[in-house]
Amino acid sequence: MPGKDGAGPPNTAAQRGGRMGGARPGAGPSGECVCTRCGAKVPHKAGVPCNNLNCPECGAKMTRG
């Protein structure tokens, strides 16, 4: 194995960084979407990625916050 500690490569989706491999594995359906321009926040809706939403105040793209 790479580190010769017997651990081996990660073998579950959680250990590899989540199903989508994003920076925030397991972010889940709760949380907020935050505007990248003005900082406005809206509740995150399950199944709807924040980056597909436009800010209700200024129209800029949202991101997960």
Q: Please name which of 38, 15, 29 lies closest in space to residue 64, comparing C-alpha atoms.
A: 29
58 neighbors 37 (Cβ within 8 angstroms): yes
pTM for the complete prediction?
Answer: 0.56
User: Which structure tokens are listed for 37?
Assistant: 């321009």
Q: For residue range 27-45, what is the model confidence (pLDDT) as tens digits?
A: 667 899 999 999 999 999 9
User: Which structure tokens are listed for 65?
Assistant: 């916050």
What lies within 8 Å, CB to CB, of 56 at 6+ separation is 40, 42
pLDDT higher at 25 or 36: 36
Query: What are the distances in angstroms from CA 39 to CA 13, 18, 22, 25, 65?
Result: 32, 27, 22, 23, 10
